[in-house]
Chains A and B, each alone.
Chain A
Amino acid sequence: MKPELMTAAGSIAQMERYVAAGADAVLIGEPRYGARLPGAIPEDQLKEAVSRAHELGAKAYVAVNKLLRNHELSGLPGYLRAVREAGADAIVFGDPAVLLNVKEAAPGLPLHWNAEMTGTNSAAASYWARKGATRAVLARELNEEEIASFKASVQMEVQVQVHGMTNIYHSQRNLLQSYMEHLGREARLLDLGPAEGLFLVESERPDERLPVYEDENGTHVMSADDICLLEAIPELLSAGVDSLYVEPLLKSDAYNETALQGYRKAVDAWSADPSAYEFDEGALEAIRALQDPRRELSFGFLYKEQVY
């Protein structure tokens, strides 16, 4: 099986652009059940969105990856039925409450397990596989050796983020509103949802800008750097990684298209003939040309050894 190139889309139009740029699969949804999406495709447009993806030859996954509260449970069976009726190829979940609801309301709907930064080992992934998950989304804080060992130890697909920013802190508090209130400012200065131009700078790291935003799910702090694993594609694919995810959050459509095109070419070339594969510096240059100069393109944790 050729590895999948995946991204997320906040509208049907965006989905079309990203598929045209090379995405094989697109994650969609709305903040009612999904976390940190680039935009909302509401329940009544799900069918149209999934059909459009399928027409274009792409898969559509729906994000049901929030940590849920009691009051959010009652709408879940209806939403899951709508997702299945729309023909979605899988849902992405983190909260075990979703498993119970899928079993009752939408049995057979494929499940991708995504526990964000806590998806760190193969034994936990296998545990969720026995509950029905067919794919594990790996924590971004794993290194290459850990990714390879993880994949070698599970009987399920694994998905790794290869590009873009990562979520590094999630609170259910409204930290920005609270701070504005503390300063005596109007909280209306802040828009809900991912917003350009809003960032944190830690006092001893003046060169690092951490994007931050607030939405109905709380406060989200994002990484100061963008992962870029284009040069590591052969290693990841040799390790058997099944899906490569490009995070489109807080980037322009043009930027995301360029990134997707670069990974598309790399995946195609390696899959056609690994031994003849050569890294295409031009693809990386094209990304660099659109990269915000204040955000480093980095290998993330791929070559890091963490301590504790």
Chain B
Amino acid sequence: MSSANIETAGRARRPLRRHRLDKPELLAPAGSLEKLKFAVHYGADAVYIGGQKYGLRSNADNFSFEEMREGVAFAAQYGAKVFVATNIYAHQEDLEGIADYLKQLEAAGIAAIIAADPAIVEIAMREAPGLEVHLSTQQSTMNWQAVRFWKEEGLPRVVLARETSLEEIREMKSNVDIELEVFIHGAMCSSVSGRCVLSNHFTDRDSNRGGCCQSCRWMYDLHLDASPTADAGDNPFTMGSKDLCMIQHIPDLIDAGVDSFKIEGRMKSIHYVASVVNAYRQAIDAYMADPEGYHLRPEWVSEIGKAANRPLNTGFFYSTPGAGEHIYEPEEKPAPYDFAAVVTDYDTASGIATIQQRSPFRPGMEVEFIGPGGRSFHQTLGELENDLGQKVDVARHPLQTIRLRTEKPVFPLDIMRKKML
């Protein structure tokens, strides 16, 4: 799909503008311009992206300034904001050029940067005052006096360390008047963020400048007095954590005073971002609309389950993670559902949808269509036609345009997904 199509789609289904902090912000990752559009369309109040420099995902498909401007314009139609992660710990060679880069972010309409290095914090406040500076989780802020320190430095928001418990968040909130942003979903460093240089030691890749190669998820033997602790057949030692998922605890987070709910995953797929945002958007809206009558809906949990590829847990929110919160078994199962196509158009009169292929599908296949707000239905695919009106036995070409009859109306940017075998 061309981005122009997505933009038109966005205008057509423009939701009500949300006012910041009337309710907590849902902040989603956007690893590319297309992911940004899906994240915003499925309900994110703000997205965070990486630029060409100074971010911790050097392998991601990072944004050019031109793409940033387009992303900001798209998000603005929904009343959503765009943040840029400038969360490296800079070395001497990185210092030159930071000021220019930050000024360009400001000019592109970026609302905030997420920074850990005090050098970058300070340069941003001096050189690009139009940018808010949010303190990154990489600064490992885990007590209320450290939060107060950053407040006194003039920062409007701190992204807390992932080690912080709900109880500690409540204490911070009652002691300091500042926005607190908290990771609620996704992969986690098992180390204190920033306090890991395993990649540097094993591969000469600098983890604190975006080179992390996830050595914590590799396999190790633990030796005690020179003997291995594991017997044959035992799982090896790893430092890998299960992924965070707080969908079942949204009222606790809102009541603790969390201002921004952050989803991890700039490297994750469109399907993942759309599904996860969709579920949390509904949970937050439902609780804010009627706290008394709120109940967790099983669809939200299953929605997340369809996109997740790792076992889930609640991190440090309720207690320090133990054996049950780590991954010892061989991991990385693919998510149970896969993105098959995106809807680009729908003709109400004929009931024919135009979709664009993202992975192969064929007539007879069971699929599910999903859209913002939890809309979804299952159907068996009937005949497929290409853009020349010819029948197609398999939609095998990436980005191929296909027309088909859907059992219910669909809307641009709805996702068609298929169950993995």
- Chain A residues with CB under 8 Å of chain B are 67-70, 72-73, 95-97, 99-101, 116-118, 120-124, 127-128, 139-142, 145-146, 149-150, 153, 168-183, 185, 189-190, 197-205, 209-210, 212, 218-219, 221, 223-224, 301, 304-308
Decide if B197 touches A169 in the complex (CB within 8 Å): yes
With both chains docked as a complex, state the minimum distance between the C-beta of B130 and any C-beta of chain A, in angstroms: 21
With both chains docked as a complex, state the minimum distance between the C-beta of B236 and any C-beta of chain A, in angstroms: 7
Decide if B323 touches A182 in the complex (CB within 8 Å): yes
Q: Quick one: closest A residue to B121, CB to CB?
A: A127
| A-B interface, 10 closest residue pairs, ranked by CB to CB distance from nearest | A308-B211, A123-B119, A97-B145, A96-B149, A181-B323, A308-B209, A127-B118, A178-B323, A197-B225, A308-B206
14 further interface pairs, Cβ-Cβ under 8 Å (given A178-B321, A200-B223, A202-B218): A69-B143, A70-B168, A117-B197, A118-B117, A121-B91, A121-B117, A127-B119, A153-B92, A175-B326, A179-B222, A197-B225, A202-B202, A209-B223, A306-B200
Q: How large is the interface on B (under 10, 10 to 19, 20 to 34, 35 or more residues)?
A: 35 or more
Decide if A185 touches B223 in the complex (CB within 8 Å): no
Cβ contacts under 8 Å, A175 to chain B: 190, 237, 239, 326
Q: Quick one: closest A residue to B153, CB to CB?
A: A96
With both chains docked as a complex, state the minimum distance between the C-beta of B204 and any C-beta of chain A, in angstroms: 5
Whether A99 contacts B149 in the complex (CB less than 8 A), given A70-B144, A117-B197, comes out as yes
Cβ contacts under 8 Å, A70 to chain B: 143-144, 168, 171-172
- Chain B residues with CB under 8 Å of chain A are 58, 89-95, 116-119, 121-123, 138, 140, 142-146, 148-150, 161, 163, 168, 171-172, 190-192, 194-198, 200-202, 204-206, 208-211, 215-216, 218-226, 229-230, 234-237, 239, 241, 316, 320-323, 325-326, 328
Decide if A95 touches B146 in the complex (CB within 8 Å): yes
Cβ contacts under 8 Å, B225 to chain A: 197-198
Decide if A170 touches B237 in the complex (CB within 8 Å): no
With both chains docked as a complex, state the minimum distance between the C-beta of A138 and any C-beta of chain B, in angstroms: 11
Provide the main secondary structure of the chain A interface.
Answer: mixed
Decide if A170 touches B221 in the complex (CB within 8 Å): no
Q: How far is the CA of A125 from the CA of B55 in the complex (A)?
A: 20
Contact of B224 among A127, A189, A202 (CB under 8 A): A189
Decide if B95 touches A67 in the complex (CB within 8 Å): no
Q: How far is the CA of A57 from the CA of B218 in the complex (A)?
A: 47
Q: Quick one: closest A residue to B168, CB to CB?
A: A70
Decide if B91 touches A100 in the complex (CB within 8 Å): no
Q: How far is the CA of A190 from the CA of B224 in the complex (A)?
A: 9
Q: How far is the CA of A171 from the CA of B196 in the complex (A)?
A: 9
Cβ contacts under 8 Å, A67 to chain B: 140, 142, 161, 192
Q: How far is the CA of A199 from the CA of B237 in the complex (A)?
A: 11
Cβ contacts under 8 Å, A180 to chain B: 229
Decide if A121 touches B92 in the complex (CB within 8 Å): yes
Decide if A169 touches B146 in the complex (CB within 8 Å): no
With both chains docked as a complex, state the minimum distance between the C-beta of A78 and any C-beta of chain B, in angstroms: 15
Contact of A73 among B144, B202, B230, B326 (CB under 8 A): B144
Decide if B200 touches A124 in the complex (CB within 8 Å): no
Q: Quick one: closest B residue to A171, CB to CB?
A: B191
Cβ contacts under 8 Å, B143 to chain A: 68-70, 72-73, 95, 97
Decide if B191 touches A301 in the complex (CB within 8 Å): no
Q: How far is the CA of A297 from the CA of B316 in the complex (A)?
A: 38
Q: Quick one: closest A residue to B235, CB to CB?
A: A182
With both chains docked as a complex, state the minimum distance between the C-beta of A123 and any C-beta of chain B, in angstroms: 3
Decide if B90 touches A123 in the complex (CB within 8 Å): yes
With both chains docked as a complex, state the minimum distance between the C-beta of B148 and any C-beta of chain A, in angstroms: 7
Decide if B219 touches A183 in the complex (CB within 8 Å): no
With both chains docked as a complex, state the minimum distance between the C-beta of A66 and any C-beta of chain B, in angstroms: 10
Decide if B204 touches A183 in the complex (CB within 8 Å): no
Q: Quick one: closest A residue to B193, CB to CB?
A: A118
Q: How far is the CA of A128 from the CA of B121 in the complex (A)?
A: 12
Decide if B210 touches A97 in the complex (CB within 8 Å): no
Decide if A202 touches B197 in the complex (CB within 8 Å): no
Whether A168 contacts B235 in the complex (CB less than 8 A), given A101-B145, A306-B205, comes out as no
Q: How far is the CA of A150 from the CA of B234 in the complex (A)?
A: 47
Q: Can you list 20 residue pairs at the A/B interface with Cβ under 8 Å? A: A67-B192, A70-B144, A73-B144, A117-B196, A121-B89, A123-B123, A168-B201, A169-B195, A170-B195, A172-B316, A174-B320, A179-B326, A189-B229, A190-B224, A200-B237, A201-B221, A202-B220, A204-B218, A221-B239, A224-B201
Cβ contacts under 8 Å, B205 to chain A: 306-308
